[in-house]
């Protein structure tokens, strides 16, 4: 049996420097659950959602997080940080191994526009391997609203998708459903780790490869350690969800093409929806004579 233990930390924090709090939580998790091999936090929990705190990566904040991982000998996904790269800012989640090395960085593909103003879009679907365990994928918050992102990770072999979130809006209930759907459609574990306190409404959810909710947190700070069974993913992908739909095989073998993909793809319908703007902003309307 191939297993891997992950602790999802729903951090209750405020905007500002939370690096010390993250370090104390890692120490708490490893002290109480010494069998945990990876610790995951929510999106932007290190400093909150303020692009003014953006740093280059590598940089001081990431180095501090690397030291935490190495000190405790665990895989660490510390949510995400705003990353400065020249004149651009990305929302980036690093993956740090137990020696303190950064093995991957995922730049959020779909910033929550128009609200996450000024944040550049990432372009790569991020996977990384844990030796003798399996392949993991990484996405961030709004990414999961686009089913193509999770399907791309499954296409690249991800058996577990780690998904830091920062949701402090009334659509959290819908996001829990989306997490379940992504897990079921791709027969993978989906770990959606939200923040609590000023940085989120909680309700982090751990979903199994048949869309089953293994754990859903409340709305305050919490720690949820869980042992993932990678063989269950492999059986489900081989034999079907609940012994039924073998979705990834059908996707692989299907003959359908999708007109929305490709560099030259356009949609007159989508163009007609108007610009991406804040809710309540009135679009420019043509004159009556037009």
The Cα–Cα gap between 152 and 139 comes to 11
What is the average pLDDT across 194-199?
96
CATH topology of domain 3-271: Nitrilase/N-carbamoyl-D-aminoacid amidohydrolase (3.60.110)
The mean pLDDT value for 133-150 works out to 98
pLDDT (0 to 100) of residue 289? 43
- pLDDT (tens digit, 9 = 90+) per residue, 91-103? 999 999 999 999 9
User: In this predicted structure, what is the pLDDT of residue 266?
Assistant: 87
DSSP3 helix / strand / coil % (the chain, rounded to 5): 30, 25, 45
Q: Which residue has the tokens 């058996």?
A: 159
Q: Residue 5: CB partners within 8 Å, gap ≥ 6?
A: 33, 35, 36, 37, 38, 225, 226, 227, 228
Q: What is the total residue count of the chain?
A: 290
> Alpha-carbon dihedral of residues 16, 6, 206, 119, nearest 10 degrees?
40
Q: At 27, is the pLDDT very low, low, confident or very high (cuts 50, 70, 90)? A: very high
DSSP string for residues in 15-69: SS--HHHHHHHHHHHHHH-TT--EEE--TTTTT-S-GGG-B-SSSHHHHHHHHHH
Q: What is the pLDDT of residues 236-286, one digit of tens each?
A: 999 999 999 999 999 999 999 898 888 788 898 988 998 998 877 555 544
Give the residue extent of every domain in the chain: 3-271
Q: Look up residue 111 and give its two tokens.
A: 């910033």
**How many angstroms separate the CA atoms of 125 and 184, rounded?**
19
Which comes out higher in pLDDT, residue 266 or 85?
85
pLDDT of residue 184 exceeding 70: yes
- Quick one: which of 40, 261, 287, 67 has its CA closest to 164? 40
119: which DSSP letter?
P
């Amino acid at each position: 049996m191939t297993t891997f233990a992950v602790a999802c930390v729903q951090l209750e924090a405020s905007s500002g420097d939370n690096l010390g709090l993250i370090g104390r939580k890692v120490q708490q998790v490893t002290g109480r659950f010494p069998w945990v091999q990876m610790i995951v936090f929510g999106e932007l929990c290190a400093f909150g959602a303020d692009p003014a705190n953006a740093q280059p990566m590598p940089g001081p904040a990431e180095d501090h997080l690397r030291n935490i991982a190495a000190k405790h000998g665990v895989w660490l996904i510390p949510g995400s940080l705003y990353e400065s790269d020249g004149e651009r800012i990305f929302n980036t989640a690093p993956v740090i191994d137990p020696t303190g090395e950064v093995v991957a960085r995922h730049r959020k593909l779909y910033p929550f526009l128009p609200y996450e103003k000024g944040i550049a879009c990432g372009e790569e679907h991020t996977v990384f391997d844990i030796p003798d365990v399996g392949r993991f994928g990484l996405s961030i918050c709004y990414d999961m609203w686009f089913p193509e992102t999770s399907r791309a990770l499954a296409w690249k072999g991800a058996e577990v998708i780690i998904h830091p979130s920062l949701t402090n809006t009334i659509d959290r209930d819908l996001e829990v459903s989306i997490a379940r759907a992504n897990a079921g459609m791709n027969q993978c574990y989906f770990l959606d780790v939200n923040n609590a306190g000023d940085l989120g409404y909680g309700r982090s959810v751990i979903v199994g490869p048949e869309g089953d909710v293994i754990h859903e947190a409340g709305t305050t700070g919490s720690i949820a350690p869980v042992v993932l069974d990678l063989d269950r993913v492999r059986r489900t992908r081989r034999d079907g969800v609940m012994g039924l739909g073998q979705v990834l095989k059908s996707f692989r073998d299907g003959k359908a093409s999708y007109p929305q993909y490709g560099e030259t793809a356009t949609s007159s319908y989508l163009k007609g929806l108007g610009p991406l703007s804040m809710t309540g902003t009135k679009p420019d309307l043509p004159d009556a004579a037009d």
